[in-house]
A and B are shown apart, each in its own frame.
Chain A
Amino acid sequence: MSAIIEVRELRKRYKDVSAVDGVSFGVPEGVCFGLLGPNGAGKTTTIEIMEGLLDPTAGEVLFRGRPIDRRFKEKVGIQFQHTALPEFITVNETLKLFSAFYPHPRPLNDVVDICALEEIIDRDNRKLSGGQRQRLLLALAIIPQPQLVFLDEPTTGLDPQARRNFWSLIERVRSEGTTVMLTTHYMDEAQLLCDQVAIMDHGRILEIDSPQTLLERHFEGVVVRLPNADAGVLHNGARLPAATKRNNGALELTTTQLDDTFRSLLDLGVNLDGFSIHKPNLEDLFIKLTGSTLRV
């Protein structure tokens, strides 16, 4: 699959910090691509360079194999992390205003329908809740009938319902064939929505692949957690998997052979009360790759 947008050796240097330090990747057409990283990793800088809002210090951005040109802005939709909406106008007026900016805007009924704006159509922009606001911002992003949509941390600060609600909107946009480029620091969001993720830290890409492949590459098996097990089993557990450790007073076994492990535990008469099985997810991978220590 050819890349709809591609970055090559992108660098952005502010006075004494390198916000983006040699980033290259391509986003295949039609996928949902997630750019993950902790705060300050360089996600927003990268995406703003791709949007054509910032000039890179070095490197290039190619849209369908060509450097971005004047008409690029007509073909992409953008949702910023922090944007104020124009004040004193209603949702409907905001939509009309932005429609006027584009040569081939999507019919507003459509946009209102997709983003569920019917109920708040006459409300003043300043009186929207967080979720309503994000829906309106997404609406603005899809007005141009874009081939590519950039969403910069679209669900940050939303409550769980609003987030789920927003995910289904993103799925819907994607199902229409629009390529979605998303940044987030929510791993559940990335795991659920993204076909491909790039994990970024300190201005560099650490890993890039589908979530499944990444997990398989970095983790083997599942973790069995036994909160009430007696630590004594460790000493005579000849047939237990090697990777065992204690964490917060609970016993954790990492295993690829779940059947055998449980058989051994039962044979040993280990207390299985309150056990749980945890499959390593993107969050574990993220912590593993970017570290869990607080950043200054």
Chain B
Amino acid sequence: MEFLRDRGALFWNILFPVVLVVGFAFVFSNGDDSLFTVGLLGDGDAPESLRELAGIEFVRYSNSDDAQLEAVTTRLRQHQLDMVIDLDRAEYYLNSEAPGAEMLRRLLHSAHDPSLSEVGAVDAAGVPGAAGFQERRITGAAIRYVDWVVPGVIGMNMMFSCLFGVGYVIVRYRKNGVLKRLKATPVSAFVFVSAQGASRLVIVLVTSVFVFAGTNAVFRFTMNGSYGTLLLLTVVAIICMIGIGLLLAGRLKNEELADGLINLVTFPMIILSGVFFSLEGSPEVLQRASLALPLTHYVSGARAVMLEGAGLGEVLPHTLALAVMAVVFWLCAAAIFRWE
């Protein structure tokens, strides 16, 4: 009830993510063609022909095993990379549906074999290319940035709603004496906390579905997976985030402190969980650290479902990670909770 009657908060909860999604859709709707991003697998230097070019950015992937190759070519398929060069296998991959593919091919070959620089001279896979590299072609429609960012925005909104909606509210109740009044009734702390958690779960889930459905009606997001899997992942993530909110609210009596702590927890997640930009290419330490954050698991999981059509089995690690964190947060929260 409080959620619906507090118009300001309601507005914020629904409008904020919508504005973000719409904003990103426009900001990134074009303009990413001017710069090519080339993935490099394995050891060694990039081919000479591309190395000196100003418009090309290289992303290095240290190992070149099959799983890594699969992941990288998926990114190529979704137009997040414009070219993949596997240095160990002496192969390069292009996406035939990408507007920059031919351009890149010509650039790669230009220094070595001018005869191959003409558009359309080679189109089958396996034709010998520059410096003895084999060319391989894959296809896949572009994933717009908006498709990529929507799980991040919804995840972030869920996180805010859970942490502030549960954490901040309980601290306020403690400060103004509502909790003390409840303590004087036969209601147990367990029942109270569960009720808070349950009502917040419903609210956040409904808001998220609402925001998703609303923006989807306009942007028609890529959805390659099942809605059921996405929903399951979302529910587990919400329960996990509510756990964080409860944990933070366990003893605090001061709203300002609660506010600061919640920000302290949310900001690293916004930056490190890949909400707005991918962590790929960032130091490995950072990528590992980000796995400790629940938002990372949700955002990666949701992206896998939506963009790659991952099934329940494939996002199981993310779901389990979230579930384990949820259990830990809830148990700790239960252990430290005090009415006053």
A and B together in one complex: yes
Which residues from chain A sit less than 8 Å from chain B, CB to CB? 51-53, 70-71, 73-74, 78, 80, 82-89, 93, 98, 101-103, 124, 140
Partner of B184, one of A71, A73, A82: A73
| Chain A interface, >50% SS class | loop
Does B141 lie at the interface of the complex (its beta carbon under 8 Å from any beta carbon of A)?
Answer: no
Q: With A89-B2, A101-B186 as known contacts, state yes or no: A80 contacts B180, CB within 8 Å.
A: yes
Q: Chain A: which residue is nearest B191 at the CB level?
A: A101
Check B185 against A82 for contact (C-beta < 8 Å): no
Q: Chain B: which residue is nearest A140 at the CB level?
A: B181
Which residues of the partner chain B approach A85 to less than 8 Å between Cβ atoms? 178, 181
Q: With A87-B2, A88-B1, A89-B2 as known contacts, state yes or no: A53 contacts B177, CB within 8 Å.
A: no
Check B6 against A80 for contact (C-beta < 8 Å): no
Residue of A52, A82, A88 ringed by the most chain B CB atoms within 10 A: A88
Q: With A87-B2, A88-B1, A88-B5 as known contacts, state yes or no: A73 contacts B178, CB within 8 Å.
A: no
Which residues, 169 to 194 on B, are CB-close (under 8 Å) to A?
Answer: 173, 176-178, 180-187
Which residues from chain B sit less than 8 Å from chain A, CB to CB? 1-2, 5-6, 173, 176-178, 180-187
Partner of A83, one of B5, B6, B177, B187: B177
Q: Tell me the smallest distance from the CB of B191 to a CB of chain A, in Å.
A: 9
Check B176 against A101 for contact (C-beta < 8 Å): no
13 residue pairs from A and B, CB less than 8 Å apart: A51-B184, A70-B186, A73-B185, A78-B181, A80-B184, A85-B178, A86-B178, A88-B1, A89-B5, A93-B1, A101-B185, A102-B185, A140-B181
Alpha-carbon separation in the docked complex, A124 to B4 (Å): 14
Alpha-carbon separation in the docked complex, A86 to B176 (Å): 9
* Other A-B pairs, 19, CB within 8 Å; known A51-B184, A52-B184, A83-B178: A53-B183, A70-B186, A71-B186, A73-B184, A73-B185, A78-B184, A83-B181, A84-B173, A84-B177, A84-B181, A85-B178, A85-B181, A86-B173, A86-B178, A89-B2, A89-B5, A93-B1, A101-B185, A124-B5
Which residues of the partner chain B approach A86 to less than 8 Å between Cβ atoms? 2, 173, 178
Which residues of the partner chain A approach B1 to less than 8 Å between Cβ atoms? 88-89, 93
Alpha-carbon separation in the docked complex, A89 to B185 (Å): 19
Check A83 against B185 for contact (C-beta < 8 Å): no
Q: Chain A: which residue is nearest B339 at the CB level?
A: A53
Q: What's the count of A-B pairs with C-beta under 8 Å?
A: 51
Partner of A102, one of B173, B182, B186: B186
Residue of A80, A82, A85, A86 ringed by the most chain B CB atoms within 10 A: A86
Which residues of the partner chain B approach A88 to less than 8 Å between Cβ atoms? 1-2, 5-6
Partner of B178, one of A70, A74, A84, A93: A84
Alpha-carbon separation in the docked complex, A80 to B181 (Å): 8
Residue of B181, B183, B187 ringed by the most chain A CB atoms within 10 A: B181
Alpha-carbon separation in the docked complex, A84 to B255 (Å): 15
Check B186 against A53 for contact (C-beta < 8 Å): no
Q: Chain B: which residue is nearest A81 at the CB level?
A: B177
Q: Tell me the smallest distance from the CB of A92 to a CB of chain B, in Å.
A: 12
Alpha-carbon separation in the docked complex, A98 to B185 (Å): 8
Q: Tell me the smallest distance from the CB of A261 to a CB of chain B, in Å.
A: 53
Residue of A74, A78, A124 ringed by the most chain B CB atoms within 10 A: A78
Alpha-carbon separation in the docked complex, A51 to B185 (Å): 10
Alpha-carbon separation in the docked complex, A101 to B5 (Å): 23
Q: Tell me the smallest distance from the CB of A274 to a CB of chain B, in Å.
A: 48
Which residues of the partner chain B approach A101 to less than 8 Å between Cβ atoms? 182, 185-187
Q: Tell me the smallest distance from the CB of B4 to a CB of chain A, in Å.
A: 8
Q: Tell me the smallest distance from the CB of B280 to a CB of chain A, in Å.
A: 44
Q: Tell me the smallest distance from the CB of A137 to a CB of chain B, in Å.
A: 9
Q: Give the 7 A-B CB pairs with smallest separation, nearest first.
A: A84-B176, A88-B5, A88-B2, A101-B185, A78-B184, A73-B186, A83-B177
Q: Chain A: which residue is nearest B176 at the CB level?
A: A84
Which residues of the partner chain B approach A124 to less than 8 Å between Cβ atoms? 5
Which residues of the partner chain B approach A80 to less than 8 Å between Cβ atoms? 177, 180-181, 184
Alpha-carbon separation in the docked complex, A103 to B182 (Å): 15
Alpha-carbon separation in the docked complex, A102 to B187 (Å): 8
Q: Tell me the smallest distance from the CB of B220 to a CB of chain A, in Å.
A: 37
Q: Chain A: which residue is nearest B6 at the CB level?
A: A88
Alpha-carbon separation in the docked complex, A140 to B181 (Å): 10
Q: Tell me the smallest distance from the CB of A9 to a CB of chain B, in Å.
A: 24
Q: With A89-B2, A93-B1 as known contacts, state yes or no: A53 contacts B178, CB within 8 Å.
A: no
Alpha-carbon separation in the docked complex, A82 to B180 (Å): 10
Alpha-carbon separation in the docked complex, A73 to B177 (Å): 17
Partner of A53, one of B6, B173, B180: B180
